[in-house]
């Protein structure tokens, strides 16, 4: 029941917001809708915590330790993003970057996007998972081109085409998976349910599943933004409105990785080998290295953090590929803390670029003097994302690094190199942006305080003390993924 | 049963050949109008094929898929594309293409590769349609190739939709279609995508004054 509310609220809010349009209260309705979604998410989390995993709606939906935390995270970040976007989008509206139609569209699509992501997470059917993933892409394509500038349209077109192609590969993989499953489970919708598939995964035909995994890897890997399938990502994340960058980087990439990891668990069960994991490790390490070196030469602030997202998704993919309890635990944690830290960074980046009316790194200066919250929030966010203690990212990266040293020592230098380069690249640039005097063209901006503060506090708390329920869920999720 | 399985399998292969042929036709076709027609033909062959499989295998839900394909890919999408081409006055636009013969050769290589790739699947399958799985993958790959080699927004979209045709074909050949809920969802996604690219064509046309995506080259990695 809670589950249906959780999915129903954003869908309903999308319809309502499409009707409200650009009226005065639209941002508040957007926040209220997201807050209601978050409340439903919390209620669901309590249920799962008490009763364990469950299915609903005639096995159509299911929740376990792995997707429940991602659902709560999705609902939470979309709520804080809605709060952030109220002030941010008002400012953009004043600057004339979006019009009436644009705002109507923005709010409705934002909620539809959240619905699509939650459907991805909560559905039990891998076919529906694919459909929801495509829906998530489609609902954000026109948000990326919201400003209608030539670059924004180019970015959105690239996003549409490349993700469309990518996700089509995943559908082919799904067809192959269904082919293998049908032979064991009989035909009909039942053969596409995770709950059924995971029980019979050792009976699935290994040759077909290996082939399916290649397609799924390329397909969902495109959406995760893994190198060399990442071309759309920096463009889409840098040209769209900043709240959209925050949810794309913080949430959508996680969802795609979730889909990939679920599929990997099935393939592993069938092939009894580490091949799927090896492929993921390869993609992961390549993404880390390429993204880290790309970070060095970025001139656009949002583009830089998009590359950082590629790097972090690479780390998580690598860790899932490595397998084993510690690495998987680290990867789950990494998805959580990266999502929180990255969206918080995008909030501050959004305000910073509004203050300077540009996204160019060279022109953004003196943030701390201009607006202490934005400046310090940005600085601390950057410190968190590069993996400095005591933030949560340090914990997860440390876990992953220890597991790598134990299970795949040869990979350690590459991982360390990527982390070190990213560390240097980001901190060097961020330092210049936050310090110094405020330039004359800097304009004050009414910043949204709450989202940044809450996100940073959470990243810090998770780094110092891991709540028990989270710990339990992660352990259970590690069991599921073994 | 009026039609025995042997005949059905032959008709299935015959139609698969036409689907593949139209894919190759699209790969070489320069005129946008003819491309849209070819795409509609491909959808038509697919739809007939699906109906025959539905009849022979006794899978009634495939009739729905067949009608869905007919209405969506033979009538609605070509109509939308047609209307957009007229509206944007790109009727006469002829695309400059590099090296058609080379592209065709790559296409042939992709067909062979598809047969190689799907060999284990075909071996395991007991369905009458098993021999066309490779063709389906080939159609999918050729759609992909078309998206890579062509530089016009409309052509890229047709390539995208051709890929989708290949996927649908694969689902029909390998498993007699995906479960109904998935088929419907995919059709819905294609429909939404159609509206989105319709909007896009207008945006690209007004911003870049042409639907040639080569002109979109501002977002490159700076040095």
Query: Does A175 sit within 8 Å of B174, measured CB to CB?
Result: yes
A159 part of contact set with chain B, CB < 8 Å: no
Phi, psi of A193 (to 5 degrees): -85, 135
Query: Does B219 sit within 8 Å of A151, measured CB to CB?
Result: yes
pLDDT-wise least confident of A279-288, B2-11, B187-196: B2-11
**Shortest alpha-carbon distance between residue B41 and chain A (Å):** 21
Q: How far apart are CA A358 and CA A238, in angstroms?
A: 12
B34-63 pLDDT tens trace: 899 999 999 999 999 999 989 888 888 889
Segment holding A155, helix H or strand E = helix A150-185
Query: Does A164 sit within 8 Å of B179, measured CB to CB?
Result: no
Write out the two tokens for B35.
Answer: 């491309």
pLDDT, tens digit only, all 482 positions of chain A: 788 889 999 999 999 999 988 888 899 999 999 999 999 999 999 998 888 888 887 888 999 889 999 999 999 999 999 999 999 998 888 888 888 888 999 999 999 999 999 999 999 999 999 999 999 999 999 899 998 888 999 999 999 999 999 999 999 999 999 999 988 887 766 888 988 888 888 888 899 999 999 999 999 999 999 988 999 999 999 999 999 999 999 999 999 999 999 999 999 988 888 889 999 999 999 999 999 999 999 999 999 999 999 999 999 999 999 988 999 999 999 999 999 999 999 999 999 999 998 999 999 998 999 899 999 999 999 999 999 988 999 999 999 999 999 999 999 999 999 999 999 999 999 999 998 888 888 888 888 889 999 999 999 999 999 888 899 999 999 998 87
- Report the residue of chain B nearest A239, measured CA to CA: B219
Q: Which residues pair with B94 in a beta bridge?
A: B31
Q: Which residues pair with A56 in a beta bridge?
A: A61
B93 part of contact set with chain A, CB < 8 Å: no
Binning chain A into helix, strand and coil, the percentages to the nearest 5 are 80, 0, 15
Write out the two tokens for A375.
Answer: 């400046």
Q: Which residues of B touch A14 (CB under 8 A)?
A: none
A178 part of contact set with chain B, CB < 8 Å: yes
Query: Does A182 sit within 8 Å of B179, measured CB to CB?
Result: no
Query: Does A168 sit within 8 Å of B125, measured CB to CB?
Result: no
How many CB pairs lie under 8 A apart between chains A and B? 131
CB of A59 within 8 A of CB of A193? yes
Mutation pick from A172, A180, A204 vs chain B, by most beta carbons of B within 10 Å, is A172
> Cβ–Cβ contacts within 10 Å for residue B134, how many?
24
Task: State the angle between helix axes of A301-322 and A253-271 in degrees (0 to 180), rounded to the nearest 10.
Answer: 20
pLDDT attached to residue A241? 93
Q: How far apart are CA A344 and CA A321, in angstroms?
A: 27
A131 part of contact set with chain B, CB < 8 Å: yes
Among partner residues B170, B213, B222, which is closest to A172 by beta-carbon distance?
A: B170
Binning chain B into helix, strand and coil, the percentages to the nearest 5 are 80, 0, 20
Which residue has tokens 């708390």? A461
Q: How many residues does chain A have?
A: 482
Among partner residues B147, B153, B189, which is closest to A165 by beta-carbon distance?
A: B147
**Shortest alpha-carbon distance between residue B102 and chain A (Å):** 22
Domain ranges (residues) in chain A: 294-482
- Report the residue of chain B nearest A136, measured CA to CA: B189
Among partner residues A148, A189, A235, which is closest to B203 by beta-carbon distance?
A: A148
Q: Which residues of B touch A164 (CB under 8 A)?
A: 160, 193
Q: Which residues of B touch A176 (CB under 8 A)?
A: 121, 174
Q: How far apart are CA A395 and CA B85, in angstroms?
A: 55
Residues 228-257 of A with CB under 8 A from B: 235, 239
Segment holding A394, helix H or strand E = helix A392-407
Q: How far apart are CA B200 and CA B221, in angstroms?
A: 24
Whether the per-residue pLDDT at B221 is higher than 80: the answer is no
Residues 32-91 of A with CB under 8 A from B: none
Phi-psi region of A360 (alpha: psi -120 to 50; beta: other; left: phi over 0): beta
pLDDT attached to residue B88? 85
Among partner residues A192, A211, A299, which is closest to B117 by beta-carbon distance?
A: A211
Query: Does A157 sit within 8 Å of B200, measured CB to CB?
Result: yes
B163 part of contact set with chain A, CB < 8 Å: yes
pLDDT attached to residue B223? 44
**Shortest alpha-carbon distance between residue A125 and chain B (Å):** 9
A154 part of contact set with chain B, CB < 8 Å: yes
Q: How far apart are CA A248 and CA A76, in angstroms?
A: 14
With H, G, I as helix, E, B as strand and everything else as coil, classify residue B41.
Answer: helix
Distances (CA, A) of B17 to B21, B26, B46, B117, B133: 6, 14, 11, 18, 12
- The separation between CA B156 and the C-alpha centre of its own chain, rounded to angstroms, equals 11
Write out the two tokens for A237.
Answer: 């994340």
Domain ranges (residues) in chain B: 7-215
A294 part of contact set with chain B, CB < 8 Å: yes
b vs e for A386-415, b when ≥16 Cβ sit within 10 Å of the residue's Cβ?
Answer: bbeeebbbbbbbebbbebbeeebeebeebb
**Shortest alpha-carbon distance between residue B171 and chain A (Å):** 6
Query: Does B204 sit within 8 Å of A165, measured CB to CB?
Result: no
C-alpha torsion sign, points A413, A419, A425, A428: negative
B129 part of contact set with chain A, CB < 8 Å: no
With H, G, I as helix, E, B as strand and everything else as coil, classify residue A112.
Answer: helix
Residues 175-194 of B with CB under 8 A from A: 175-176, 178-182, 185-186, 188-189, 192-193
**Shortest alpha-carbon distance between residue B216 and chain A (Å):** 6
């Amino acid at each position: 029941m809670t589950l249906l509310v959780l999915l129903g609220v954003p869908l309903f809010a999308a319809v309502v917001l499409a009707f409200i349009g650009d009226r005065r209260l639209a941002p508040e309705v957007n926040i209220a809708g997201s807050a209601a979604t978050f409340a439903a998410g919390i209620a669901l989390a309590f249920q799962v915590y008490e009763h364990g995993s469950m299915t609903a709606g005639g096995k159509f939906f299911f929740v376990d330790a792995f997707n429940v935390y991602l659902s709560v995270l999705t609902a939470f970040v979309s709520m804080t993003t809605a709060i952030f976007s109220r002030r941010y989008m008002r400012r953009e509206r004043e600057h004339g970057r979006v019009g009436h139609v644009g705002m109507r569209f923005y709010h409705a699509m934002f909620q539809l996007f959240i619905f699509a992501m939650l459907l991805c997470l909560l559905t039990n059917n891998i076919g529906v998972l694919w459909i929801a993933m495509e829906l998530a892409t489609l609902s954000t394509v026109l948000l990326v081109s919201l400003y209608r500038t030539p670059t924004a349209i180019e970015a959105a077109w690239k996003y549409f085409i490349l993700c469309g192609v990518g996700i089509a590969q995943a559908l082919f993989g799904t067809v192959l998976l269904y082919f293998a499953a049908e032979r064991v489970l009989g035909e009909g919708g039942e053969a596409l349910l995770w709950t059924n598939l995971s029980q019979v995964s050792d009976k699935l035909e290994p040759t077909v599943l290996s082939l399916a995994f290649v397609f799924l890897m390329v397909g969902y890997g495109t959406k995760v933004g893994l190198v060399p399938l990442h071309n759309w990502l920096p463009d889409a994340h840098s040209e769209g409105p900043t709240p959209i960058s925050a949810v794309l980087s913080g949430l959508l990439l996680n969802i795609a990785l979730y889909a990939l990891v679920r599929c990997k668990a099935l393939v592993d069960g069938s092939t009894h080998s580490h091949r799927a994991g090896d492929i993921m490790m390869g993609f992961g390490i390549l993404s880390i290295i390429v993204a880290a070196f790309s970070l060095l030469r970025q001139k656009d602030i949002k583009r830089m953090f998009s590359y950082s997202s590629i790097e972090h998704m690479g780390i998580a993919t690598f860790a899932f590929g490595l397998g084993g309890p510690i690495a998987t635990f680290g990867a789950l944690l990494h998805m959580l803390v990266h999502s929180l830290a990255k969206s918080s960074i995008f909030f501050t980046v959004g305000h910073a670029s509004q203050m300077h009316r540009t996204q160019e790194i060279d022109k953004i200066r003196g943030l701390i003097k201009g607006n202490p919250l934005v400046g310090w929030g940005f600085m601390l966010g950057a410190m968190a994302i590069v993996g400095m203690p005591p933030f949560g990212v340090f914990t997860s990266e440390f876990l992953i690094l220890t597991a790598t040293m134990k299970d795949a020592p040869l990979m350690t230098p590459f991982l360390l190199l990527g982390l070190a380069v990213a560390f240097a690249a980001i901190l060097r640039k961020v330092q210049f942006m936050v310090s110094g005097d405020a330039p004359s063209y800097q304009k004050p901006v009414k910043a949204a305080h709450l989202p940044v503060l809450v996100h940073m506090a959470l990243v810090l708390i998770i780094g110092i003390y891991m709540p028990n329920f989270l710990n339990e869920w992660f352990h259970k999720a590690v069991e599921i993924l073994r | 049963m009026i039609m025995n399985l042997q005949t059905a399998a032959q008709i299935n292969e015959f139609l698969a050949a036409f689907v593949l042929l139209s894919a190759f036709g699209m790969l070489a076709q320069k005129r946008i109008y003819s491309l849209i027609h070819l795409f509609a033909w491909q959808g038509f062959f697919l739809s007939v094929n699906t109906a025959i499989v539905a009849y022979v295998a006794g899978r009634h839900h495939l009739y729905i898929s067949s009608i869905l394909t007919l209405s969506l890919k033979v009538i609605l999408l070509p109509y939308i594309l047609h209307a957009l081409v007229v509206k944007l006055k790109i009727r006469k636009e002829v695309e400059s293409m590099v090296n058609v013969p080379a592209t065709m050769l790559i296409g042939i290589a992709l067909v062979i590769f598809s047969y190689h790739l799907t060999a284990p699947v075909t071996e395991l399958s007991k369905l009458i349609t098993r021999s066309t799985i490779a063709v389906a993958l080939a159609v999918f790959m050729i759609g992909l190739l078309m998206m890579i080699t062509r530089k016009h927004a409309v052509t890229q979209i047709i390539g995208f939709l051709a890929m989708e045709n290949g996927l649908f074909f694969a689902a029909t050949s390998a498993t007699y279609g995906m479960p109904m809920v998935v088929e419907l969802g995919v059709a819905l996604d294609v429909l939404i995508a159609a509206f989105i690219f319709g909007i896009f064509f207008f945006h690209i046309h007004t911003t870049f004054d042409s639907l040639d995506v080569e002109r979109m080259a501002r977002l490159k990695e700076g040095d």
